[in-house]
């Protein structure tokens, strides 16, 4: 049973009480990611995420982490394309400490000039590490190209140039606009009393105010393309992307895409895995996955292989896409995918952290509550007609983005 409450300052709380757990997970979510950085320095959302751990008026950087870790808890954060989240996981008896720490970070972070300069070096090293990850690099190069390096197509970390140009004034300008209660959701899951917890949150965040941002963001246009980058990697990396136009997080067609993805490459029994890895032995890794934003989504395919296998792998992937368009999926695949996805979802929701994350992000992006029953009902409702319609809408071989990164790939015709 989910409970919600909007505080006088505009902060939305969404909670799930589970009394048989001995822990709580709590996160505060902001609609602030690479998508909202239009007219700001690229990577500022991610930079702020780092700076929030560099000390407040009340605690040093070490104290922020130590107060949680000394209790056996976890404190962390992440930045996405549309949101940033700061979260803690603790024993239920330490709930008040978690609220105090999160509120201190949000209300009292210092953004010291020296810390900003030092963190530029840290994030530059993070960028280098990311560039050494073939899988991440290949897909991000593809997104940058298909979205013309705008909005969700930009690198979450920024670039070496944007990181170098980061400054306190730019950070505070962004922070003061987007880190306001009207632009935030606090989600909590575990063993706690809702009414008492709301009072604690109201008390700790009483001095937090600010107007809801006027986003006025441009919509990204998806541009089909083929990108080839020579890199001295041991294997060649292939990424393919299809736009799920107008299929945002709250669309019922999210469940349709989930099923199509599961059949195509979302499991070890999927068509791509079985044909290209198991039958042909051309790859070690091949899979597909989906990502949804506020008003659109993507269905992506990734594979890594020896360069000499690239053309065969690419051809076979396209054959499977064409087959889905011409023949659809079988009744057995539809039935099995529904059961598999329901099982995976329910098993994945057995921790307070996963439940906190699911309800918090969904509320932030859509403004709605999505229950476990909603997901099960949504999957059960999908028909073969839905599958065929969405396959035709999304899996258009002439409207896909393709990126290949590896040794000598620029000379290979695709």
Q: How far apart are CA 185 and CA 12, in angstroms?
A: 5
> Is residue 212 domain-resident?
no
- pLDDT tens track for 217-248: 888 999 999 999 999 998 999 999 999 999 99
**pLDDT value of residue 215:** 81
Other CB atoms within 10 Å distance of the CB of residue 63: 15
Residues 269 and 381 in one domain: yes
Residues 393 and 263 in one domain: yes
**pLDDT value of residue 202:** 97
Domain, as residue range, for 378? 225-406
* Residue 364, both tokens: 């932030």
With a cut of 50, list the residues of the chain below it in pLDDT. none
Residues 200 and 251 in one domain: no
**pLDDT value of residue 131:** 85
> Is residue 210 domain-resident?
no
Q: Into how many domains does the chain fold?
A: 2
The model's pTM: 0.95
Q: How far apart are CA 299 and CA 286, in angstroms?
A: 14
Sign of CA dihedral 397, 402, 406, 409: positive
**pLDDT value of residue 301:** 98
Residues 87 and 195 in one domain: yes
CA dihedral 294, 184, 60, 65 (to 10 degrees): -60
Residues 54 and 168: beta-carbon distance below 8 Å:
no
**pLDDT value of residue 54:** 98
Residues 184 and 248 in one domain: no
How far, in Å, are 54, 123, 137, 161, 400 from residue 164 at the CA level?
18, 10, 21, 5, 34
Q: How far apart are CA 250 and CA 162, in angstroms?
A: 33
Residues 177 and 308 in one domain: no
> Is residue 412 domain-resident?
no
Catalytic residues: 49
CATH number at residue 179: 3.30.830.10
Where among 143, 173, 205 does a domain terminate? 205
Residues 34 and 109 in one domain: yes
**pLDDT value of residue 132:** 87
Residues 323 and 393 in one domain: yes
**pLDDT value of residue 208:** 97
- pLDDT tens track for 377-390: 999 999 999 999 99
């Amino acid at each position: 049973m989910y409970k919600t409450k909007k505080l006088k300052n505009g902060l939305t709380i969404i909670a799930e009480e589970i009394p048989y757990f001995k822990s709580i997970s709590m996160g505060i979510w902001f609609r602030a990611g690479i998508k909202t950085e239009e007219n700001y320095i690229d990577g500022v959302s991610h930079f702020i995420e780092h700076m929030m751990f560099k000390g407040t008026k009340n605690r040093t950087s070490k104290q922020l982490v130590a107060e949680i870790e000394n209790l056996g808890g976890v404190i962390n954060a992440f930045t996405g394309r549309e949101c940033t989240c700061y979260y803690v996981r603790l024993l239920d008896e330490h709930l008040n400490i978690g609220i105090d720490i999160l509120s201190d970070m949000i209300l009292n972070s210092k953004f010291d000039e020296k810390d900003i300069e030092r963190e530029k070096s840290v994030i530059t090293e993070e960028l280098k590490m990311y560039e050494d990850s073939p899988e991440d690099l290949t897909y991000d190069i593809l997104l940058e190209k298909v979205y013309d390096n705008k909005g969700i197509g930009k690198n979450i970390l920024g670039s070496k140039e944007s990181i170098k140009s980061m400054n306190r004034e730019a950070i505070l300008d962004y922070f003061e606009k987007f880190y306001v209660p009207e632009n935030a959701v606090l989600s909590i899951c575990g063993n706690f009393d809702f009414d008492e917890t709301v009072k604690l949150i109201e008390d700790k965040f009483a001095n937090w105010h600010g107007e809801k941002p006027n986003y006025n963001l441009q919509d990204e246009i998806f541009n089909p393309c083929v990108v080839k980058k020579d890199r001295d990697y041991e294997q060649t990396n292939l990424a393919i992307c299809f736009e799920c136009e107008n299929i945002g997080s709250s669309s019922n067609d999210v469940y349709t895409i989930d099923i199509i993805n599961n059949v195509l490459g979302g499991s070890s029994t999927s068509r791509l895995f079985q044909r290209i890895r198991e039958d042909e032995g051309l790859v070690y890794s091949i899979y597909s996955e989906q990502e949804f934003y506020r008003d659109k989504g993507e269905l992506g395919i990734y594979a890594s292989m020896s360069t000499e296998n690239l053309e065969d792998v690419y051809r076979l992937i396209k054959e499977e896409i064409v087959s889905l368009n011409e023949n659809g999926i079988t009744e057995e695949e539809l039935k099995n995918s529904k059961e598999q996805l329901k099982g995976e979802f329910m098993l994945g929701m057995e921790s307070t952290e996963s439940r906190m994350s699911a309800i918090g992000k969904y509320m932030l992006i859509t403004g709605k509550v999505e229950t476990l029953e909603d997901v099960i009902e949504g999957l059960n409702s999908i028909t073969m007609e839905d599958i065929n319609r969405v396959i035709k809408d999304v899996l258009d071989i002439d409207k896909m983005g393709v990126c290949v990164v590896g040794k000598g790939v620029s000379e290979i015709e695709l």
